[in-house]
């Protein structure tokens, strides 16, 4: 009996020591460099944001934040890397509206669960897209655009950055909400689509504001409405689509930080608090302004709910429109 009691005591001591060691490790976080996986190529807007944010967070925590670019497959390659990483806070993901909004409904079999394999840290920022038309199109408002589309069903052309892209999903949501028939013209990226809309080869496009803002200011494109719930600071005269008659319409380009599931809550809290402090820094706000984005910083629980709503919204649009990736 004494021997059993001693064994139990020994086990208790071992367990207590392990708990203390674990707590110490968490308290010391981060004790080494943190890797931010970015699902984009070097030089892309989200890559620049990741580097700016990583530098700020690294300075605040006294450790280096290293960017690792893992582009491809709508962000799923980068997301898979993080989903399978050790849940210790040393590998985190710069997710976006594609990786954790569109992609889960677009790809039938992902090697991870977009919700259950991640621990949300916080929403970094979101940005409105804008519905633009070629300057020669006789539409000065969304109402004009919708009227023309109804008068010419299936003939008004609208570009996107490619099948399954956020700009494509915004088009399909517009068609469904407005009950108008538009001819979708997919491109391999935003730039060639914008070029053809500017040249008048295609009549319209829904695209992020910074890409077309110079063309709008030059009078080569006309902004009819933005896709956010409230007006964009960079285009204050452009009403929202909701204001224009499409109640509840909203599509956003957004960016957020996520860790692997089962990352210690204390580590997630540290990262979220550091993110909030970084978002207050001038260099981070300037980077977001160049992207036409507004800083957010909402916490893990609210961000997790937002991700679920984005996946549900776009999965429904993808299913109803029968969208398939090339």
Domain ranges of the chain: 32-126+252-321, 128-226
| DSSP secondary structure letters along 94-149 | EEETIIIIIHHHH-S--SS-TTTTEEEEEEEEEEEEEEEEETTSS-SSHHHHHHHH
Q: What is the pLDDT of residue 248?
A: 92
Give the CATH fold of the 32-126+252-321 domain: D-Maltodextrin-Binding Protein; domain 2 (3.40.190)
Quick one: pLDDT at residue 26?
A: 55
Closest alpha carbon to 186 in 22, 34, 19, 323: 323
H helices then E strands: how many in the chain? Answer: 11, 10
> What DSSP element (H or E) covers 93?
strand 91-96
Superfamily of domain 128-226: Periplasmic binding protein-like II (3.40.190.10)
Q: Exposed, middle or buried by CB within 10 Å (0-12, 13-18, 19+), for 318?
A: buried
Q: What is the mean pLDDT of residues 122-150?
A: 97
Asked if residue 149 has pLDDT above 80, the reply is yes
Is the alpha carbon torsion for 83, 87, 92, 98 positive or negative? positive
What average pLDDT does range 246-265 have in this prediction?
96
- What average pLDDT does range 297-325 have in this prediction? 94
Q: Which residues touch 118 (CB under 8 Å, ≥6 apart)? A: 79, 82, 83, 93, 95, 100, 258, 259, 260, 261
The residue-averaged pLDDT of 143-162 equals 96
Give the mean model confidence (pLDDT) for residues 225-253.
Answer: 94
Question: pLDDT per residue over 296-307, tens digit each?
Answer: 979 999 999 999
Q: Mean pLDDT in the chain?
A: 91
Distance between CA 203 and CA 157 in Å, rounded?
5
Predicted local confidence at residue 292, as pLDDT: 87
DSSP letter, residue 74: G
CA angle 207, 208, 213 (to 5 degrees): 100
The yes-or-no answer to whether 32-126+252-321 and 128-226 have a common fold is yes
Is it the case that residue 318 has pLDDT exceeding 50?
A: yes
Share of the chain above pLDDT 70, in %: 91
Each residue of 256-296: pLDDT tens digit? 999 999 999 999 999 999 999 999 999 999 999 888 899 99
3-state helix, strand, coil in the chain (%, to 5): 45, 20, 35
DSSP string, 214-252: HHHHTTSEEEEEESSSS--TTSTTSPBTTTTT-TT---E
Q: Is pLDDT of 151 > 70?
A: yes
């Amino acid at each position: 009996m004494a021997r059993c009691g001693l064994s139990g005591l020994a086990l208790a001591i071992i367990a207590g020591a392990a708990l203390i060691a674990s707590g110490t490790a968490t308290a010391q976080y981060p004790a080494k460099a943190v890797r931010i996986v970015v699902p984009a190529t070097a030089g892309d807007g989200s890559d620049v944001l990741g580097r700016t944010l990583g530098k700020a967070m690294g300075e605040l925590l006294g450790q280096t934040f290293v960017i690792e670019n893992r582009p491809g497959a709508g962000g799923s390659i980068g997301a898979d890397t993080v989903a399978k990483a050790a849940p210790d806070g040393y590998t985190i993901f710069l997710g976006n509206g594609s990786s954790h909004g569109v992609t889960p409904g677009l790809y039938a079999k992902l090697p991870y669960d977009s919700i259950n394999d991640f621990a949300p840290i916080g929403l970094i920022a979101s940005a409105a897209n804008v519905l633009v038309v070629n300057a020669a199109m006789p539409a000065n408002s969304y109402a004009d655009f919708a009227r023309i589309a109804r008068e010419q069903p299936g003939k008004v052309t609208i570009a996107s950055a490619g099948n399954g892209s956020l700009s494509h999903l915004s088009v399909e949501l517009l068609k469904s909400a407005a009950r108008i028939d538009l001819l979708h013209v997919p491109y391999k990226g935003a730039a060639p689509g914008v070029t053809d809309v500017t040249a008048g080869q295609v009549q319209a496009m829904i695209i992020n504001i910074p890409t077309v803002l110079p063309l709008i200011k030059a009078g080569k494109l006309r902004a009819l409405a933005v896709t956010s719930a409230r007006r964009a600071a960079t285009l204050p005269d452009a009403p929202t689509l909701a204001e224009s008659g499409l109640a509840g319409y909203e599509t956003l380009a957004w960016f957020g930080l996520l860790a692997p599931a089962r990352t210690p809550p204390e580590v997630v809290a540290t990262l979220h608090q550091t993110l909030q402090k970084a978002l207050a820094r001038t260099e981070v706000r300037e980077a977001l302004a160049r992207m036409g984005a507004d800083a957010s910083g909402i916490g893990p629980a609210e961000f997790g709910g937002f991700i679920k709503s984005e996946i549900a919204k776009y999965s429904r649009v993808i299913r109803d429109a029968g969208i398939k990736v090339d």
